[in-house]
Amino acid sequence: MGLGTITKKRTWLVTGGAGFIGSNFILAQSLDPELTIINLDKLTYAGNLKNLAGIKNHHNYIFVHGDIGNESLVQELLQTHRPQAVINFAAETHVDRSIQGPGAFIDANVVGTYRLLEATRSYWAALPLNDKETFRFLHVSTDEVYGSLKAAEPPFSEESPYAPNSPYAASKAASDHFVRVYHQTYGLPTLVSNCSNNYGPFQFPEKLMPLMILNGLQGKALPVYGDGQNIRDWLYVEDHGEALRLVLERGRVGETYNIGGDCQKTNLEVVQTICSLLDQVAATASHVPHASLIAFVEDRPGHDRRYAIDSTKIRQELNWRPKETFDSGLRKTVHWYLSHPEWVSAVQTGAYRDWVKQHYGQL
């Protein structure tokens, strides 16, 4: 039985809701007048309350500044707001940063998730039987836990073995395992989703798409790692959010659901497509064609060659389908970055410039 069918008025504790996917998710779900969302976010460099400015005064939205690893804070939030679900987006998420310093990833993704699970378990254990049965803990994870595919291999299914290759991927894999354990050992009603690469509004410009869009608009080099032939499976962020809502409300407890766009592209194809769109929207720029800005740079260590997701399970069981195509989603994304210069300049702070300088050097 799904959450939505039990009671109309619901409360969810969402963690990491000031980041890219979490804020898109909260904005979409906040249209539901029966739902109250408590957003617990540490506001790391990737967290941005500007993403949620449109709903900050809504009576059914509450922001709490804090760490998922702060067990007593999470306990207090659970006792005060009595949510029917916890949805965990909170994580350190950038692979390149994880290579430079794995520690923060272990703290947030492994220890943080463990402490969030502990706090949730003790709240859940004391719920009345009916509420215990309908409660859900949804852990938002990644396809990177499955490692890298060879060109001819079939896409990752829910049965693919875990084989993480970066500190980020290992930390997410460990957190997935802990979520599994809390279901198997303690009976906590958990769900895990493993999704492919997202793109869309509010993505921090350290990630491929926003980095290329903004560098292109600003006439800067477009740094493509290695030979640019690594493949990612792209999904528009709102389609991910819709999938998560379905998993939460109708997914089978203890199960994993793979979510992907069925949209495999090489990085070079992605960058070239962005360049063609920029040629249209910034036709008079001095650096047209934008593809002339492409610069092949040193490869990412341990760089996964290919990701691809087999999303048959969620399509068949929950009748989920992505609404955006790569073409429509990418157009929306480019347009969003073009039409939000104040958001862009606010995130391109000194700290952001320091990262770019440290990671890419003088391009």
Q: Which residue is nearest to ligand NAD (CB)?
A: 19
Q: Which residue is nearest to ligand DAU (CB)?
A: 142
The verdict on whether 168 is a catalytic residue reads yes
Site track for ligand DAU across 138-177, x = CB under 6 A = ----xxx---------------------------------
Minimal distance, residue 108 CB to ligand DAU, in Å: 12
Task: By CB under 6 A, tell whether 44 contacts ligand DAU.
Answer: no
d(CA 293, CA 287) in angstroms, rounded, equals: 8
Q: Which residue has the tokens 């949620």?
A: 52
Site track for ligand DAU across 65-94, x = CB under 6 A = ----------------------------xx
Task: By CB under 6 A, tell whether 183 contacts ligand NAD.
Answer: no
d(CA 155, CA 216) in angstroms, rounded, equals: 32
Buried b (16+ CB within 10 A) or exposed e, 253-292: eebbbbbbbbbbbbbbebbbbbbebbbeebeeeebbebbe
Q: Report the site for ligand NAD in 119-148 (rule: CB under 6 A).
A: 140-142
Residues 96, 99, 101: CA angle, nearest 5 degrees: 110
Per CB under 6 A, the segment of 18-26, 158-166, 214-222, 322-330 that binds ligand NAD is 18-26
Task: By CB under 6 A, tell whether 258 contacts ligand DAU.
Answer: no
Whichever of 75 and 266 has its CB closer to ligand DAU, that residue is: 266
Contacts of 148 (CB under 8 A, 6+ apart): 163, 165, 304, 305, 306, 307
Q: Report the site for ligand DAU in 300-359 (rule: CB under 6 A).
A: 300, 307
For residue 337, how many C-alpha atoms fall within 13 Å in the half-sphere facing its CB?
27
Q: Which does 89 bind (CB under 5 to 8 A by kind): ligand NAD, ligand DAU, none?
A: ligand NAD
Buried b (16+ CB within 10 A) or exposed e, 20-56: bbbbbbbbebbeeeebbbbbbbbebebbbeebbeebe
Residue 166 φ then ψ, to 5°:
-125, 160
The verdict on whether 144 is a catalytic residue reads yes
Contacts of 35 (CB under 8 A, 6+ apart): 9, 10, 11, 12, 29, 60
Residue 107 φ then ψ, to 5°:
-60, -55
Minimal distance, residue 92 CB to ligand NAD, in Å: 6
Q: Report the site for ligand NAD in 70-109 (rule: CB under 6 A).
A: 89-93, 108
Query: Which residues contact ligand DAU (rule: CB under 6 A)?
Result: 93-95, 142-144, 196-197, 207-208, 211, 223-225, 230, 232, 267, 300, 307
Return residues touching ligand NAD (CB under 6 A). 15-16, 18-22, 40-44, 46-47, 67-69, 89-93, 108, 112, 140-142, 172, 195, 197-198, 204
* Catalytic residue ranges: 143-144, 168
